[in-house]
Amino acid sequence: MSFKQAATDLVRAALDGQIESLILRGVDEFAQEGGDIDVLLPRNQAKLALLLVAESAAKAGWKIIGVRDIGYLAQICLTKRCDDDDQYRAVKIDFFNGVSWCALGEDPLIGALFDIRDSGSEHVAVGLATLLQKLIYAGYLRERDRARIFAACDLDRIEAFVAATGLPLSRATLERGALSKITRWSLRAASGGVQLGSVPVWVAQIVWRRIRFCIIRSTFPGTVIVVECAEQDRWRAVATHFRSLLEHAGFPRPTIAPQGGANGLATARRLLDAWHMLRGETVLTGPAHESNVNPRTPRGGTSVHIRLMDCTSGGSDDLDTFLTKTSENALSTLRLMENQ
């Protein structure tokens, strides 16, 4: 079983009987081995899905190294040692809050897609959902997108869905696989069930959401990870490996803060930490770094201290210790946010 297939099976098992879901991309014949896994959920279910998957992952020996929420999309990054080479690999799982663009307005299309899935045509539902997402967000279809979509449903089936849901897509547009700006925005509005009279409110929501998530990268609290380790080489190796895992999975990389420094530099560092915490980002730093983050204030950020000096040797022991503590903190964060 491939690494991504194992992650996909984990998601299916965690959500089965808990939340309606549709796994869109990640392990079909058109997927890339290093790519992410996309899951479509009903509106406002993504954070619960993150917690369910995180709990199941922790029980199954996976480690959670990143969680993020940007409103219409919630993400979790999981890692695990692979049996074939005994190296950690990471995968990002994206949970979409419904079909409507940026999760704004209503979501009149999600029910239609789940009805198609329930009728025994899950592959058709996946193809239609992929078509909608690619056209709504990118405005065009790449060759791989076209191959994935038309392997699941032909043009007549797509046209029937478009007619039944009242989407502003003509057959010529579907054949071309690219939208004009007007058609693209019309499709975005239709995906949220936006009527003419509610357009001003919808536009205001768009402006606010863009401003908010330009500043705040996640609704989850930011995290300062303080690594206590006397040897610079061990600290540097862990920091590099952690950032590499996140980067290869397509997850936002942490900020690596310098160790030590004069009082003025330390003050500036604390101000930068506060900014990263506000934005919901992760800061990875060493033992000489001081932080004023209050771990009991979610919006102000959380703090986790990891001791590497107790390890008997460097390398994998250090990384195991680091990832275990980071995973425990991520799971605690998800539990805290779910209870608020």
pLDDT of 311 > 70? The answer is no
Query: What is the set of domains in the chain, with CATH numbers?
Result: 3-215 (no CATH), 223-339 (3.40.50)
Report the percent of the chain where pLDDT is more than 90.
Answer: 59
Scan for tokens 């999309």, then name that residue.
73
pLDDT of 228 > 70? The answer is yes
Mean pLDDT of 226-250: 87
pLDDT of 265 > 70? The answer is no
Give buried/exposed letters for 21-34 (b at 16+ CB in 10 A, else e): bbbbbbbeebbeee
Per-residue confidence (pLDDT) for residue 314, from 0 to 100: 46
User: Which residues, including other chains, have CB under 8 Å from residue 330's CB and lie 6 or more apart?
Assistant: 54, 64, 65, 66, 67
Mean pLDDT of the chain: 86
Report the percent of the chain where pLDDT is more than 70.
Answer: 88
User: Please, where are the H alpha helices in 32-154?
Assistant: 46-59, 110-118, 122-133, 143-152
Q: How confident is the model at residue 260 (pLDDT cuts 50, 70, 90)?
A: low
List beta partners, residue 75: 68, 94
Q: Give the integer Cα–Cα distance in Å for 168 and 146.
A: 19
Q: Give the integer Cα–Cα distance in Å for 183 and 269.
A: 47
User: Please, where are the H alpha helices in 216-310?
Assistant: 232-249, 263-278
Q: Give the integer Cα–Cα distance in Å for 129 and 35.
A: 18
Scan for tokens 């046209």, then name that residue.
159
Q: Is 233 exposed, middle or buried (0-12, 13-18, 19+ CB in 10 A)?
A: exposed
pLDDT digits (tens, 9 = 90+) for 160-218: 999 999 999 999 999 999 999 999 999 999 999 999 889 999 999 999 988 988 888 89
Q: Give the integer Cα–Cα distance in Å for 261 and 289.
A: 8
Q: How confident is the model at residue 112 (pLDDT cuts 50, 70, 90)?
A: very high
- Which of 299, 306, 301 is closest to 328 using CA atoms? 306
Per-residue confidence (pLDDT) for residue 79, from 0 to 100: 96
The answer to whether 109 and 165 have CB atoms below 8 angstroms apart is yes
Q: How confident is the model at residue 32 (pLDDT cuts 50, 70, 90)?
A: confident
Per-residue confidence (pLDDT) for residue 294, from 0 to 100: 42
pLDDT of 336 > 60? The answer is yes
Cα dihedral angle (284, 10, 32, 96), rounded to 10 degrees? Answer: -80
Alpha-carbon dihedral sign for residues 292, 295, 297, 298: positive
